[in-house]
Structure 1
Amino acid sequence: MTARPEAPAKKKFSYSSDDIKRMLPHRWPMLMIDRAHDVVPGVSGLGVKAVSVNEPFFAGHYPDHSIMPGVMIVEAMAQLVAVVYVAEIIEAPESEAAAGDPSESVGYLGSISSMKFSRLVVPGDQLTLEAKLGQRLGALRQVSVRAKVGSELAASGSLIVTTGRKA
């Protein structure tokens, strides 16, 4: 029996908050991801969202029992998806990446399905985000996402994102 040659390992990248600001069009208070690591461009990645009591949504959700809104957890996961997608553009050979501002390629969230929330997220928690890009459906992309606090699952589901912005 002959051994099959192994596929070459895909290179993984890490991005700081400053890198992410160059990759995404989002700004405070809507920039929901602090760091990304183990990003395989166009395939998958991990991200970090440090949940602080100073987040503006905690003023009203809920004043006496601070809970990170589920829609903000989904937004953080969607922003990680955008980082994984944009990484494919910026990590391409120089000739392909020179075509303007990569944040302009960030599309929109088109669908949220089978999203389940299984743990409250509160100030002081650190969300570990996971995104795995699936198949392309024309200008759409299917994605599996998860958010954890430590080893506990906080949220998981599927997203459909657009692969660009159309006016």
Structure 2
Amino acid sequence: MSTATTTLLEAPAPAPARKALSYSSDDIKQMLPHRWPMLMIDRAYDVVPGVSGRGVKSVSVNEPFFAGHYPDHSIMPGVMIVESMAQLVAVVYVAEILENAAGTGADDASRSVGYLGSISNMKFSRLVVPGDQLTLEARLGQRLGGLRQVKVRATVGSELAAAGTLVVTTGRKG
């Protein structure tokens, strides 16, 4: 056997690439406990379970919060933008649970969705209005006991709408 062949065979195999997944609104309803009017994510894609993902929130004039925020100048509240990003985080987290539980007949995965623990360094750069489509991004960071730090951002087209860091719980208590 040649040296080159021996070296290739002895080299450690690269870690298998995790396949990116996509989820429809119907899939998301099975993954999250949220329902209208608080279900704030329409689609998720490029989801690498437990690592990262992207999602879409289509902003409609029919959203209930527009009735009071503001009646003559509709603006999506920042807290709802943050909620949209947090729900994408939950999809990425639940996708990992579903991947690990494949074929085990595990209970309803939506029960494992935790809570938003903190919001850090969140900056809002652009108003979000009816007709906009938010592209959401989340990248899970380090675990801190029962907490997980996550970098999030939301854009409309090429314009940054919001970005910051969330800390989420990795499960529910009580």
- Alignment partner, residue 52 of structure 1: 60
Pick one of 69, 75, 88 that aligns with 1:80.
88
Pick one of 53, 68, 75 that aligns with 2:76.
68
- Alignment partner, residue 40 of structure 1: 48
Pick one of 148, 153, 170 that aligns with 1:146.
153
Q: Which amino acid aligns with 1:65?
A: H
Q: Tell me by how many angstroms 1:94 deviates.
A: 2.4
- Helix, strand or coil for the counterpart of 1:147? strand
- Alignment partner, residue 157 of structure 1: 164
- Alignment partner, residue 38 of structure 2: 30
Q: Tell me by how many angstroms 1:9 deviates.
A: 1.9
Could you give the per-residue CA deviations for residues 84-142 of structure 1, whole angstroms, max 9, x where no partner exists? 0000011225245x220000000000000000000000000000000000000010000
- Alignment partner, residue 112 of structure 1: 119
Q: Tell me by how many angstroms 1:6 deviates.
A: 4.5
- Helix, strand or coil for the counterpart of 2:100? coil
Q: Which amino acid aligns with 1:156?
A: A
Q: Map 1:83-102 to 2 at 5 A.
A: 83-92=91-100, 94-96=102-104, 98-102=105-109
- Alignment partner, residue 4 of structure 2: none
- Structure 1, unaligned runs of 5 or more: none
- Alignment partner, residue 18 of structure 1: 26
- Helix, strand or coil for the counterpart of 2:76? coil
How many angstroms apart in 2 are the aligned matches of 1:61 and 1:94?
43
How many angstroms apart in 2 are the aligned matches of 1:166 and 1:109?
13
- Helix, strand or coil for the counterpart of 1:94? coil
- Greater C-alpha radius of gyration: 2
- Helix, strand or coil for the counterpart of 1:57? helix
The TM-score, its normalising length taken from structure 1, stands at 0.95
Aligned residues: 165
Q: Tell me by how many angstroms 1:7 deviates.
A: 3.7
The TM-score, its normalising length taken from structure 2, stands at 0.91
- Structure 2, unaligned runs of 5 or more: 1-6
- Helix, strand or coil for the counterpart of 2:149? strand
Q: Which amino acid aligns with 1:128?
A: T
Give the aligned CA root-mean-square deviation in angstroms: 1.4
